[in-house]
Amino acid sequence: MEQQIKITKTANSKLKDIDFDNIPLGTTFTDHMFICEYKNGSWNNPRVEPLELIPTHPAAMALHYGQAIFEGMKATVGNENTPLLFRPEENAKRFNHSAARLGMPSVPVDLFVEAVKQIVGVEHNWIPPQDGSALYLRPFMYADEPFIGMRAATSYKFIVICSPAGPFFTKKIRLYAETEYIRAADGGTGEAKAAGNYAAAILPTEKAKAKGYDQVLWLDANEHKYIQEVGTMNIFFKIGGKFITPSTSGSILKGITRDSVISLLKDKGFEVEERPITIDELIGHAKEGKLEEAFGTGTAVAIAMIEAIGYKDEVLTLSNDNPVSQDVKNTLDGIKTQKIEDKFNWILPVSIEEKVG
C-alpha cells in the first residue's frame, strides 16, 4: 500500500537557531510533524505539516482514561549523508501490539513506516552529525474523542514528532531495586508502551533519585524478587562468561535494542540465556566475583553501563571494566552509522527527495 502523504513545509525553519553541540534534552522539536486522524474505522488525511498546537476538547478520552501509547526510534546518518532508520517495522509491530492491549485501532505497518520515512526525509537536516547523536522520533497515538464514560474511543490521532538528541546517559548509571512499588503485573499493560505505565513510574523514580540513584530496577509484582527491567531499558548481566537477560514474560517491554543485542552477543560467540533471574541470585554471583558486566539497553541510550545496584540496605558495586558491553555498543553504533557492515539487515535508508503533493 503506497500511502499518499501530503507535505506542507514551513516558511520559518528554526534549524538555524540550533547548536548541535549543545542540545537541551527533550525540549527541542523540529519544524514539522506527521499527523493523521482515525474516524469511522479508517486512518484519514495522512500529512506532514508545520508542528503546531493541537486543539483538544476537555473531554478528550486520552486525558481521562489514558488511551495513549507511544514508540521511540532514532534516525542517524550513514554514508553520503543518507538518513537511516533502525528496524522501523519492529516499532510498527510493537505499536500495534500496544494499541491492541489498550483497545485502540492498529496503524497499518506500511503507513507507520511511510510516516516515519516521510518526516525524516523532510527533517533530515535536523539529524545531528556528532558521534552518538541522533534525531529522536516519537510516534504516538491517543484517543481524542470527547466522551465521558468507559469504552474504547472511536476517534484517535496518530502523530510523529522529532527531537534532536545529543549522546544520552554517557555516564554509568546507578539503579535502585524497588521492593515497594511495581511497574507491571501479569495480565497488565507492562508489555505495551502505554503512557500510563510511565505515569505510575514517576513517583518511585523520583524517590530513587532522592536516594542518589538514576533509575529504578523493577522487580516482579508478586514476590518482589525477579528482576524485570529498568526505567525505559531492558537489562543484561554477564555472569561467569555468559549473558543473562530476564525472559519477557508478558510484563516486560520487548525492547528492540534487547533483541538486537542478543543477536550481536550470539554473533560474537557468547551464550545468551533468556530466563528469570532473582535479585538474590544476582547478589550471590556478585559476592562470588562472577558478576562481570551489567548494562541496560534501549533506543534512547543504546547501551548504558551499570555502576551500582542498591537493594534494601546493600549497595552492589559493579566492575568498572565492561569490555564486552563496550564492544557491543560500538558495534551497534557502527551499524547505525554504516561504519560497520549491517549483516542483519537492520538499516533502512531514507530518501530525501521529498514528494510534494
Ligand X SMILES: *Cc1c(COP(=O)(O)O)cnc(C)c1O
Which residue, 215 or 337, is less far from ligand X as judged by CB? 215
Smallest distance, Å, CB 240 to ligand X? 25
Which residue, 32 or 133, is less far from ligand X as judged by CB? 133
Binding site for ligand X (CB under 6 A): 72, 193, 229, 232-234, 253, 255-258, 297-299
Report helix, strand or coil for 203. Answer: helix
Smallest distance, Å, CB 214 to ligand X? 15
Which residue, 122 or 189, is less far from ligand X as judged by CB? 189
Smallest distance, Å, CB 253 to ligand X? 4
Which residue, 232 or 325, is less far from ligand X as judged by CB? 232
Smallest distance, Å, CB 41 to ligand X? 29
Q: What is the rounded distance in angstroms from the CA atom of residue 85 to the CA atom of residue 347?
A: 6
Which residue, 205 or 299, is less far from ligand X as judged by CB? 299
Q: What is the rounded distance in angstroms from the CA atom of residue 21 to the CA atom of residue 44?
A: 39
Q: What is the rounded distance in angstroms from the CA atom of residue 341 to the CA atom of residue 346?
A: 10
Smallest distance, Å, CB 299 to ligand X? 3
Beta strands in 144-250 (DSSP E): 156-165, 173-177, 215-219, 227-230, 234-239, 242-245
Q: In this structure, how many other beta carbons lie within 10 angstroms of the beta carbon of residue 310?
A: 18
Report helix, strand or coil for 179. Answer: coil
Give the three cell numbers for residue 215.
533509575
Report helix, strand or coil for 181. Answer: coil
